Structure 1
Amino acid sequence: MTLSVSTGQAVDLRVQPVDEVLDRVQRSLQVGLLPDTMVRKRRSVGARTDRDTWVRIERRLLDKISDQGWNGTESAARLKGIAQPEWHGCVVWAAPDGPVMWRADETELLPGAPVGNAILSEAPELPDDWWGALNTSLDALAAQSTRRVATPDTETVTQALVTESVRGVFSGDFDTTIEQWVPAHADLNWANMTAPAFSLFDWEDWGNAPLGLDSASLWASSLAVPALADRVWHERRSDFESRDGKVMTLFACSKILGPYAHPEDPRLEPARRIAEQVIKELQAG
């Protein structure tokens, strides 16, 4: 296949041919990608290599690349105390026929398979030491410093974005002002962590974000399994009980209950119920 996917329009790499892109990555990194290991997502393609590493290739529109660039995986390599794949190198290039850039990052192989899809419908079996490793990594991340700003869903997180997202779904007299901004992964869900050995990957969007963003994101992706959502809340209790964590809970719920809500999403009812309770807590001060 020779059809280009480098136009400025939105494309879905799960269905678009990417042979030219794969060929370029293999030449640039001097590595062979193993076709039977290919994982194709909407904006990215990944594969194991013939030297026992992993390559993740992403396509991003120029207007989705902020001033800080989009070297999240590369810059995350300097973070300390976090279980993540070691970064080896990358190749980046501009598409010749559209406002698009491509990036391929090579990392060590993951120590296990992803826990599941981004949103789970049944509880995974995770030992206590897995949860311990999750807490250690998230706490270590939040304690570090960076000039990067998180870009969840490729959108730069700002106070204005938080307020707009929350107010667009929830009414009531409560303050959405964020008090503490800390480094966050910004795409924390069950598809970006491994088990039984814990490792956190896909660092493209990490950066400073409101305290509690990661915990709320993981909790929201667990709501279809009440016991799992409860475990996330228990493990990250200090985040959820903070004022910023409550605002982030509403922020996460707004993504479930907002204009793109699916009527059959099993998370709708628990998200509404929890949001009502959190709003009462915020109003009570």
Structure 2
Amino acid sequence: MTGEQAEEEPQRAFLRRVLAEAADRLGARLAGEAVFGWRDRTIGAPALKEGEPVWLRATAEHRDWTTSEEWTGNQDAAHLTGIPKPSLLDRIEWDEAEVMIYAELMTFVPDRPCSPTPELRQPLDLPRSWWKSLRGALDALAGQTTRRGAENPGWYEPTLRVFFGARADHLRPAWSTEHMDMHWANVTSPRLWVLDWEHWGRAPAGYGAASLYCHSLLVPDMARQVRDTFADVLEPPEGRYAQLCVIGHMLRRIDRGDYLDLAVPLHEHADRILDA
């Protein structure tokens, strides 16, 4: 067992305890296997509340981090309309020593994520109606107003400079409301539900479509379908800017050990954008 694996067990044990306490505090009963989020930051599981199926999700952060927008993402998303997403039913917060904890009860989504990993690794047979629903959901989100992310327009330029030098200087963004974590583990089938609203907010227009496209590059037919669905979003200069922002973000993740086999496809795609 590696050192990283050895450290994982105490974190998961802690999250399981937090989830059990959250169920007790929210008057719910755990009713299925727990699922851990990225790098064991979160935990979720099916539960029952007054006999009805719900989803219980919990996370803990050092209290210095609890002022960030991610802390209230699902809560802030409650007012969004026209998007198939779980609804927030109840939420509770409490603190333990150095950490703050929150737990949320969400409506239960019976449909499964399209992929167990953010990056897609095999083709999916999704009907035209699914793609139409996805396009409608991202269009509906883009047109809604929020202050989330409004303070962060300068986050993207340093990333573009680090990875692409001055090659992207001619591109300029438009701005819209975006999901910001749009990948294949956060959309479901056969019915479309868009999951995990921690990070949504103002961003370069087309960021969500660009993210789904970049997470599809290992399956060219699926990448082509994403591009066909969002061609008018991805192909203009603003869409190319959004794609480069996504690529830069993903390359930083790769540098920390995530989806290493996307490194070359992402660089190749960036070259196609910049050489166009």
TM category, shorter: 0.7 to 0.9
Partners of 1:266 and 1:54 in 2: how far apart?
32
- Which residue identity is paired with 2:82? G
Partner of 1:125: 125
Secondary structure of 2:78's counterpart equals helix
Please list the CA deviations of residues 33-67 of structure 1 after superposition, one character each: whole Å capped at 9, or x if unmatched. Answer: 12x32112211110111230111112233343445
Partners of 1:209 and 1:272 in 2: how far apart?
22
Pick closer, same or farther for the CA change 1:211–1:12 going to 2, 3 Å: farther
Partner of 2:89: 88
Partner of 2:102: 103
Tell me if structure 1 keeps the 8 A contact 2:174–2:204.
yes
Partner of 1:170: 164
Please list the CA deviations of residues 186-234 of structure 1 after superposition, one character each: whole Å capped at 9, or x if unmatched. Answer: 1111111110000101111111111011111111111111111111111
Secondary structure of 2:260's counterpart equals coil
Tell me if structure 2 keeps the 8 A contact 1:13–1:40.
no
- Which residue identity is paired with 1:276? D
Partners of 2:272 and 2:156 in 1: how far apart?
19
Pick closer, same or farther for the CA change 1:101–1:37 going to 2, 3 Å: same
Partner of 1:21: 18
Tell me if structure 1 keeps the 8 A contact 2:54–2:108.
yes
Partners of 2:199 and 2:251 in 1: how far apart?
23
Partner of 1:7: none
Partner of 2:205: 211
Partner of 1:45: 43
Q: Which runs of 5+ in 2 are unaligned?
A: 1-6
Which one is further off, 175-184 or 195-204? 175-184
The two structures have a TM-score, normalised by structure 1, of 0.83
Secondary structure of 1:70's counterpart equals helix
- Which residue identity is paired with 2:72? N
Q: Which runs of 5+ in 1 are unaligned?
A: 1-9, 151-156
- Which residue identity is paired with 2:249? K
Partners of 1:229 and 1:77 in 2: how far apart?
30
Pick closer, same or farther for the CA change 1:255–1:74 going to 2, 3 Å: closer
Question: 1:28-39 residue pairs with structure 2 within 5 A?
Answer: 28-34=25-31, 36-39=32-35
Partner of 2:260: 265
Partners of 2:160 and 2:201 in 1: how far apart?
21
Partners of 2:207 and 2:63 in 1: how far apart?
25
Partner of 2:149: 149
Partners of 1:64 and 1:243 in 2: how far apart?
35
CA displacement at 1:12 relative to structure 2:
7.6
What is the percent sequence identity of the aligned residues? 29
Q: CA RMSD for the aligned pairs?
A: 2.5
Please list the CA deviations of residues 123-157 of structure 1 after superposition, one character each: whole Å capped at 9, or x if unmatched. Answer: 1221111111100000000011011128xxxxxx8
Partners of 1:102 and 1:11 in 2: how far apart?
19
Partner of 2:219: 225
- Which residue identity is paired with 1:211? A
Pick closer, same or farther for the CA change 1:85–1:199 going to 2, 3 Å: same
